[in-house]
Amino acid sequence: MSQKKIYLDYNATTPLESEVITTITEALTDAWGNPSSSHNTGKTAKGIIDQARSDVASLIGTKSSDVVFTSGGTEADNMIIMTVVKHFNKEKMKNVTEKNVDQSLTGYINTESSKKRHHLGEHGCKIGSCDTDEEKYELPHIISSRMEHPAVNVFLEHLKDTAQAVVTYASLSPLTGRLEVENVLHEIKPNTILVTVMLANNETGIIQPVKEICDAVRNIKRGNGETKKIFVHTDAAQALGKVPVDVATLGVDYLTVVGHKYYGPRIGAVYAKDLENRETPLYPFFFGGGQERNFRPGTENTGMIAGLGKASEIAFKNIVKFETDMSKCRDYLEEKLVEAFGKRVHFNGKFAQSERLPNTCNVSILGNNCEGHKVLAKCKVLQASVGAACHAQNKPSAILLAVGVPEDIARHALRLSVGRYTTIEDIDLVVEDLKQAVQMLADEA
């Protein structure tokens, strides 16, 4: 008989709730029509999509018209970032056109000014050959950090490599594990168009000061030649379904929703503030039949959208219970680890000044031959990871290094993330499993 496996990698992905499976199955069976069709079969599918949109909106505290469905978090992040780049370029062209018109109207007031204005730019050098600050700021500037998901930072690197944007990675605080407000403000430039910061980190579980960053950015007075507005985006993948999330409280312009992180299907959604009234721009990545109000063309995936709606409804109704249960289980896990390994235990995401997700424990068990990937290889019961699923599992986490964790400690890290239904008994079995794994490695050393 095979030994029971205990999964503690819920920050990587989650299983579907049984109600979500039922909802998806019913939608695929009964609502298979094209949502754009005008007959009853199409209207049934459209009604299910509308309800799902409402449920996602309720989860994040907004109205349905602010939600656009996507294939997943990567598409959502890319779409938001590309939008602000396009918006910057549109505003720049608009300003250039207005300036040219203004120069044409005022450039010939008298002979002297005519000569001067016809040949000189705003900074007193010949137009087309000026090396001023204004020219240095022709590309959009985006502020991120080294803790962001590759869906954000790999795309930013692409924009940087193709000369479509300038990117700054603001420093993380080794005292809090967070992207602090002052570190963001320090990087603001005249051409800054976006600050993107995840709501909670996938490896440490540390909740980022997104509201405080939004408040600080909103208070910046922008001058002539500077971007009129700096947008703020947060990828809420790890926070949704674990802690309450409200976009009005956060004050963000954009938010990314990822279904498979909270017991839903592997699709996602974009939140854009007051999208209906165009307060926040959103440009499509794809072009086609005009679905999702032209923001995301392509025949809608009714079954998965229905599942995302149901997962959102369940999370919204039960968030307090889920948060309490997971916190209790995670705290018990950390207590038992200290009991089992004593001073060899080093918690990598626990900072006195910072809040954490209720389910996440990033821990290093120190000692010779106890690197994280080796420990997991010897485990017979535990299924977990040393960090984000999309990162190499035999290297120290770049995120831990970025928040000041020494490399030798980071190499020993394990990311243990409990789920909604993880039990105290499960934790006891996991700790015993870790003990035997560490002992086996000690014997081999």
Running along the chain, 445 residues long, what does each successive block of 10 average in pLDDT?
A: 88 98 98 96 97 98 98 98 97 75 51 38 35 68 97 97 97 97 98 98 97 97 94 98 98 98 98 94 94 95 98 98 98 98 96 96 96 96 85 79 95 97 98 98 91
Report pLDDT for 349. 87
CA gyration radius for the chain?
Answer: 25
Q: What is the pLDDT of residue 112?
A: 43
Please measure the distance between the N-terminal and C-terminal CA atoms of the chain and give it in whole angstroms: 31
- The pLDDT tens digits of the residues spanning 191-220 come to 999 999 999 999 999 999 999 999 999 999
In 3-state terms the chain splits into helix, strand, coil percentages (rounded to 5) of 45, 15, 40
DSSP state of 260: G
3-state SS of 103-148? HHHHCCCCHHHHHHHHHECCCCCECCCCCCHHHHCCCCEEEEECCC
Find residue 145's DSSP bridge partners. 170
| CA quadruple 213, 214, 218, 221: dihedral sign | positive
Q: Give the pLDDT score at 16.
A: 98
Residue labelled with tokens 């300036």? 99
Report the alpha-carbon distance of residue 231 to residue 217 in Å, rounded.
8
pLDDT of residue 146: 95
Whether the CB-CB separation of 11 and 326 falls below 8 Å is answered with no
Q: Are 265 and 28 in contact (CB under 8 A)?
A: no
Number of H helices and E strands in the chain, helices first, is 14, 12
Cα torsion angle, 338, 398, 285, 232, sign: positive
Residue 123, pLDDT score: 34
Q: For residues 76 and 233, what is the distance between their CA atoms, to the nearest angstrom? A: 11
Please say whether the beta carbons of 117 and 123 come within 8 A.
no
Torsion (CA) 324, 330, 331, 333 in degrees, nearest 10: 150
Per residue in 33-50, pLDDT (tens digit) is 999 999 999 999 999 999
Check if 370 is active-site: no
